[in-house]
Structures are given as C-alpha cells and as structure tokens.
C-alpha cells in the first residue's frame, strides 16, 4: 500500500511531499489555453447540435486536467478518487432523474 | 490543551515508533494532538476538503440543472440571449482564471519545496489574477445594467441592445429573461466564490509570510489551492455554457 506513496518512502512518518516538475505544470497550462481557444473557435462555427457536444467535451477535458494535475488527484490516494467520483455520481443522478422527467413529458 | 502536550514526557519516546532516527524533537509543532502523524493529518485535511468540494458540486449543481432544463425548453431564446454577452471579455476572464490556477499550483509547489519567496510571489499573482477577473466582471455587469439586460421592469427596453430575433419574436423575451437571471445567478455566485477565494489567499499569504509553510506541513496552503482550482473549474463550464451558445449566429450585439 505504502509503495504507492511516492515521497512517503522517506520513513519519516510519511511526509508525503510530492513535487511536480515545473515543465508538467507549464505543459498543462499550455493545453488549457489551447483548449480555450478551441472552444471559442468551434463555437463560431455552425455545427448544429454538435456545437454543444464539442463545447462539453472540451470543458470536461479541461476540468479533468485541472483535477488530475493542478489538484494532484492523479497522485492522491484511492479514497480521494472515490470522493471525486462520488460527487460526479450524485451530480449525474441530479441530471438523469430531472431530465428523464422533462425530456419525456412530450411523449404522451 | 492543543499545543502544550509537550508536558507529557511519555509522548515523546512513543513518536520514535514511526522510525525517525535522529529526529530529535518529539513531533512537529504543526501536528495536532489527535493525529498520529503529519501524513494522517494531511490525508484528513484532503478528505475533508474534497467532501466540502463535493458539496459545492451539488451547490452549483442546482443552478446547472435549472440552466439545462430551461435551455431545453427555450433553446432559441437562450442562444440569442447568449449572443448579447461579451465573448472577448468572457474569454479574457477564462484565460485570467486559468493563469491564476497555474500560479496557485506553483504556490502550493512552493510549499512542497519549502520556498517562501515562491509561495509569496505566486500567492500575490493568484490574488492579482483573481481581482483582475472581478474587475472585468464588474465592467460586464455595469454594461448589462446600462443596456437594460438585467431581469426587471425595463428588461430589453433598449432597442439598440436587443437582437433582431427578439424584436421579431417579443414572446421570447420572457425566456431571455430566464437566461439573464441564470447568467447573473451563476456568474454572481461564482464571483462570490472568487471574493471568498481572494480573502482566503490574503490570509494564506500572511501565514506564508510568517514562514508557516514547510515541505512536511503546508496543509492550509494546499487546501486553499484545492478551493481555488474548484472555482476555476466552475468557470471552465460556465464560459461555454453561457457565453458561446449563439456565437455562430454572427450578429453579435454584446
């Protein structure tokens, strides 16, 4: 179990210091800027229903990068993954249960 | 009671059980007495922070589901109302917030490396970006008030700032009002989080200045960072959802 914990191998009560290389942070921010430009450029095009799909895919990608790297979840323990995942599950329930009502009202 | 547990001499040799040879003092002054060690203390902080952020997802979730429902009911009104927003300013603010997330991550990294100058500079940069965002938001809000695009009795009463769509379809104006209500509610609640974040960072800056944040113990800096990044993520979704719905129409009036 503790094999997972980089940095805590110092056998010092597990300080668990994780220093991410600067190049990784600058790489992530570059991708985030490029994706922001992409979301504006694709919104300018008329893609029909796909405008929303493209915008959401880009936004989810950006959010995932922030969560994994800036928020260090990629290097976090499984319990943190479960907490992040559970927030998404509850939010999905909110959307799914509400929309199955609204979207099916016209089916009469 | 909290930090004066040194008075109990038995506690000191017990700490050696963690296998820290040559580590003279009993425990780190930042270690609260109800935790075994700093790692357990940090893990608890991380879990607690994520539990709070999961709650924040539900907090914003209510507004997001309202947006989804009404956008599905009135897609055209939403797209044309969205087209009245200022995309360049929204995009600028997106870039500003992303930059603030980078400086925030670098400030936390300064905590992990124990570099006080890095912490201070990056926290100041984060605060500066955060305030820049709020100033831009202020100008956007002011413009919407001037253009009568704030839900209320004079909503869309200025023909110069209503797109032809709403002139041709006045029955859609109440739906545009819902859009603008959601615009102000969602960005307003987000801006409130930014204000809280800026205050939080000012407090963390003062603590960093005292040299509180060292590699083995900088939980407060790290948890504040998680909050800041979360607020950034909310905006990552708000920007395309609110500003870019009707961008492809081209007849921009914002």
pLDDT of residue B4: 45
Q: Residue A16 — pLDDT band, cuts 50, 70, 90?
A: low
Would the pLDDT of B13 be above 90? Answer: no
Question: Across the interface, which of B69, B94, B99 has its CB nearest the CB of A98?
Answer: B69
**Interface predicted TM-score (ipTM):** 0.86
Structural domains in chain B?
52-249 (1.20.120.80)
What is the 8-class DSSP label of residue B249?
Answer: G
Which residues lie closer than 8 Å to B188 by C-beta, 6 or more apart?
none
Q: What are the residue ranges spanned by the domains of chain A?
A: 2-76, 77-108
d(CA B52, CA B231): 13
Mean pLDDT of chain B: 89
- Tell me what percent of the residues of chain A surpass a pLDDT of 70: 84
Would the pLDDT of B9 be above 70? Answer: no
| B217 beta partners | B214
d(CA B144, CA B131): 20
pLDDT of residue B128: 98
Contacts of A20 in chain B (CB under 8 A): 105, 109
What is the 8-class DSSP label of residue B217?
Answer: B
In this prediction, residues B67-77 reach a mean pLDDT of 95
A25–B109 CB contact, under 8 Å = yes
pLDDT of residue B248: 85
Question: Across the interface, which of A14, A66, A79 has its CB nearest the CB of B233?
Answer: A66
pLDDT of residue B27: 76
Probe site for chain A from B16, B222, B233 (most A CB atoms < 10 A): B233
For the segment B203-247, what is each residue's pLDDT rounded down to a tens digit?
999 999 999 999 999 999 999 999 999 999 999 999 999 999 988
pLDDT of residue B36: 86
- Only one residue has tokens 């970006």, namely B129
- A54 vs A61, A84, B123, B250, CA distance in Å? 11, 24, 34, 18
Q: Residue A9 — pLDDT band, cuts 50, 70, 90?
A: very low
B224 in Cβ contact with A70 (< 8 Å): no
Probe site for chain A from B52, B240, B241 (most A CB atoms < 10 A): B240
Closest CA to B232 of A67, A5, A50, A81: A67
- The structure tokens listed for B26 are 């009993």
Closest CA to B190 of B150, B223, B239: B239
Nearest CA of chain B to the CA of A27: how many Å?
11
Helices (H), chain B: 11-15, 38-73, 75-82, 87-113, 116-146, 164-168, 173-209, 219-238
Size of interface A-B (CB pairs under 8 A): 150
Contacts of B47 in chain A (CB under 8 A): 79-80, 83
pLDDT of residue B132: 98
Closest CA to A88 of B42, B97, B233: B233
């Amino acid at each position: 179990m503790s094999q997972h914990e980089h940095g805590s191998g110092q056998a010092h009560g597990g300080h668990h210091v994780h220093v991410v290389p600067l190049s990784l942070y600058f790489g992530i921010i570059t991708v985030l800027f490029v994706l922001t430009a992409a979301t504006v450029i694709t919104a300018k095009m008329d893609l029909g229903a796909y405008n929303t799909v493209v915008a959401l895919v880009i936004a989810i990608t950006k959010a995932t990068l922030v969560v994994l790297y800036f928020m260090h979840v990629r290097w976090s323990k499984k319990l943190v993954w479960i907490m992040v995942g559970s927030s998404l599950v509850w939010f999905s329930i909110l959307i799914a249960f509400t929309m199955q009502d609204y979207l099916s009202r016209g089916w009469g | 009671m909290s930090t004066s547990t040194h008075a109990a001499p038995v506690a000191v040799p017990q700490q050696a059980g963690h296998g820290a040879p040559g580590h003279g003092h009993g425990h780190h002054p930042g270690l609260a007495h109800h935790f075994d060690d700093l790692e357990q203390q940090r893990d608890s902080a991380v879990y607690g922070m994520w539990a709070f952020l999961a709650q924040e997802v539900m907090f914003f979730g209510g507004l997001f589901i309202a947006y989804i429902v009404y956008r599905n009911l009135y897609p055209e009104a939403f797209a044309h109302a969205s087209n009245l927003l200022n995309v360049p300013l929204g995009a600028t603010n997106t870039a500003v917030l992303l930059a603030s997330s980078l400086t925030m991550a670098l400030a936390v990294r300064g905590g992990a490396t124990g570099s006080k100058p890095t912490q201070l500079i990056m926290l100041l940069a984060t605060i500066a970006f955060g305030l820049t965002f709020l100033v831009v938001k202020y100008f956007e809000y002011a413009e919407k008030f001037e253009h009568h695009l704030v839900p209320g009795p004079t909503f869309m009463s200025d023909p110069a700032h209503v797109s032809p769509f709403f002139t041709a379809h006045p029955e859609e104006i109440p739906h545009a009002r819902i859009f603008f209500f959601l615009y102000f509610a969602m960005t307003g609640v987000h801006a409130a989080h930014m204000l809280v974040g800026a205050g939080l960072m000012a407090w963390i800056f003062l603590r960093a200045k005292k040299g509180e944040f060292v590699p083995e113990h900088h939980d407060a800096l790290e948890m504040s960072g998680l909050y800041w990044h979360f607020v950034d993520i909310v905006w990552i979704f708000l920007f395309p959802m609110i500003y870019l719905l009707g961008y492809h129409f081209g007849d921009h009036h914002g």
